[in-house]
Structure 1
């Protein structure tokens, strides 16, 4: 057999990524809903539809500082749209003069009524007097206190916000699955909502395994590898919206690993391990978690997935509470890609967020590249919008194993299992990374 044929035969023994993800995600359920005070709801996902119990604005109010008046008193019969001169012609000629019968601020609450030829001085947000249908801006007047001269007459309704004009009572404010943003918090509060039912942010515990690992703050040397993975994966979990806890390094000690995972099930909705997923002599995670012991839930199943980089992934449950666990490879690039394709959608599903996968675009490839046969490759890339519409994508040098490429990338180019060569000018799928730059 040729080398290509050997590679194809080996790839045929791997589980397609789509099949693997489907089998994993079907085993997960969104966390039970929780009633939270509105001030605590930011960053969570709504568990049910939210309807406005009260209108917004709650009452007729002034939108600008000025004078609340009857349009008939200031229009002089003028017609047309926009801003029109008062019939007096403004300063230098006759102007409209109204008696100022009171002042209204945002805290005013007693109802008042306008009579012909009168007006109220109002602040933005103040309730409108009965019969008022226009607010004349301060700068279009002489700013009088007992009486005011109006030099220009705005269109009827200018400077006025009617009750329910933006959001009538009964309006659907947000559907279940909506992310609670700061702006949505403002909308909910403004319509009288103080509590919402949300899916809690998943509590995610990250564990790095391996006798060779050492803490950050030093350089790697033979026999020692700085633990980059647990720090990176903790940051990645936070980016998704999880409450992430890094518990540090666990040596390749069977009893130590079992005890650590058992302890973490008390505070975790999901556990992520990194390292030890292969079949080598030091791959303790796979050897320990793939066994069913006593009454403990399990085992964790390790699968060779048609994924590049990093084919070996694990998923199952641990502890009496059957807490889901995702096992990622130890190589940093493979761990981060594994997080993107497996752990990230799992966290989103637990949080009730939709969609669970990152958004993607179709982009024109700027250079010809090759990809391993039979594997779905996720390659760091830079995606940009084209003038006139569409996107271009530039693969970053070094491929998916380079941490510098992953740090620079704003997208992950996806090359399917049957793609061995993608020519410049062809169209490929690109996952858009949420990078705040």
Structure 2
């Protein structure tokens, strides 16, 4: 049997990535909803649809600083067709002048009515006088105080915001699953909403395992490897919107690992471990968490997945609260790819966010690439929009294991299990690493 045939036979024993993800994500449920004050809701995801209880604007108001008037009193300056100069003398030798009968600011609250030939000086946001249907901007007048002369005549309705023209009462403001952005907070507040029901941001605890690990601040040397994973994965979880906590390094000590995970279940909605997922003599995480007890399987199942890099992934629950745990490989590149394909969707699902996966596009491949048979490869790449529409994608040097490539990438080139080579000019799938939820 040839080496290629051996590789294909081994790949056939792996679980397809789509099947594995489906089996994992079906076991997760969004976190219970919370009613939060509006200022605390930002960054979370709505648990239910939100409708406007009140209109916005809430009342007729001036949109610009100027003079609120009746359009029929000033229409002689050009009949309101566009913005035209008023005739200096006007019909019959009269200039377009109105008496200024008062001032209205944003805090004015008493209703007032305009009489023919009169106007109010108004600030932007001020309530509109009854019967007023136009606001003449200050710069189109002589800015008079007792009387004002109008030099240009706006169309009827210019400078006026009518109640409910932007958001009538009852408008669907956002659906369940929508991320609460600062702009959405403003919309809620403007329509009279002080609390919303959201899914809380998941609390994610990150643990790096391995006797060889040392903390940052020094260089790796034989027998010692700087722990890059726990720092990177904590940042990745925070980027998705989780409350991320880095526990740090746990040695390959069975009792120490069990105790650490048990302790973290008190403050975690999801635990991510990195390292020890293989079948080698030092892979303690897999050995401990998959151990059968009392005839039952261990709390975490480790699966050989058709994924490149990093085929060995673990998922299960730990502790009395059955907190979900995701176990990722120890290689930093494989850990980050594993986070993208497994941990990131899990966090989004717990948060109630939709969609749970990153957006993807079809892109024109600029360079021929090869890929392992039977594995779905995720390779760092740079994706760009083309002038005529569509996208191009350039694979980054070094392949999927390089941290420098991942740091440069704004996309992940995806090559399916049946793809062993993709020619330049072909169309491929690319996940967009847009750095947003």
The TM-score, its normalising length taken from structure 2, stands at 0.97
| Cα contact 1:95–1:151 (8 A) shared by 2 | no
Q: 1:294 to 1:321 in 2, by over 3 A?
A: farther
Q: Corresponding residue for 2:327?
A: 327
Question: What are the residue-to-residue correspondences of 1:2-401 with 2, within 5 Å?
Answer: 2-76=2-76, 78-79=78-79, 81-88=81-88, 95-293=95-293, 298-401=298-401
| Cα contact 1:38–1:195 (8 A) shared by 2 | yes
| Deviation at residue 81 of structure 1 after TM alignment | 3.4
| Cα contact 1:104–1:121 (8 A) shared by 2 | yes
| Deviation at residue 408 of structure 1 after TM alignment | 0.3
Q: 1:295 to 1:263 in 2, by over 3 A?
A: farther
Instruction: Deviation per CA, 1:209-246: give whole Å up to 9, x if none.
Output: 00000000000000000000000000000000000000
| Deviation at residue 163 of structure 1 after TM alignment | 0.3
| Deviation at residue 31 of structure 1 after TM alignment | 0.3
| Deviation at residue 78 of structure 1 after TM alignment | 3.7
Q: 1:197 to 1:294 in 2, by over 3 A?
A: farther
| Deviation at residue 296 of structure 1 after TM alignment | 11
Structure 2 CA distance, aligned partners of 1:298 and 1:69? 78
| Cα contact 2:373–2:418 (8 A) shared by 1 | yes
Bigger mean CA deviation after superposition, 87-96 or 134-143: 87-96
| Cα contact 2:77–2:96 (8 A) shared by 1 | no
| Cα contact 1:348–1:354 (8 A) shared by 2 | yes
State the superposition RMSD in angstroms: 1.9
| Deviation at residue 298 of structure 1 after TM alignment | 4.9
| Deviation at residue 434 of structure 1 after TM alignment | 1.8
| Cα contact 1:50–1:175 (8 A) shared by 2 | yes
Q: 1:246 to 1:90 in 2, by over 3 A?
A: farther
Bigger mean CA deviation after superposition, 18-27 or 71-80: 71-80
| Deviation at residue 83 of structure 1 after TM alignment | 1.2
SS, match of residue 77 in structure 2: coil
Where structure 2 has 5 or more consecutive residues not aligned to the other structure, the ranges are none
| Cα contact 2:77–2:84 (8 A) shared by 1 | no
| Cα contact 1:112–1:129 (8 A) shared by 2 | yes
Structure 2 CA distance, aligned partners of 1:275 and 1:406? 19
| Deviation at residue 92 of structure 1 after TM alignment | 15
Instruction: Deviation per CA, 1:36-80: give whole Å up to 9, x if none.
Output: 000001100000000000000000000000000000101127435
| Deviation at residue 162 of structure 1 after TM alignment | 0.3
| Deviation at residue 291 of structure 1 after TM alignment | 2.1
| Cα contact 2:43–2:181 (8 A) shared by 1 | yes
Structure 2 CA distance, aligned partners of 1:15 and 1:193? 48
Structure 2 CA distance, aligned partners of 1:89 and 1:21? 79
| Cα contact 1:296–1:320 (8 A) shared by 2 | no
| Deviation at residue 146 of structure 1 after TM alignment | 0.7
Structure 2 CA distance, aligned partners of 1:291 and 1:225? 27
| Cα contact 2:134–2:157 (8 A) shared by 1 | yes
SS, match of residue 321 in structure 1: coil
Bigger mean CA deviation after superposition, 229-238 or 426-435: 426-435
| Deviation at residue 294 of structure 1 after TM alignment | 6.7
SS, match of residue 68 in structure 1: strand
Q: 1:272 to 1:365 in 2, by over 3 A?
A: same
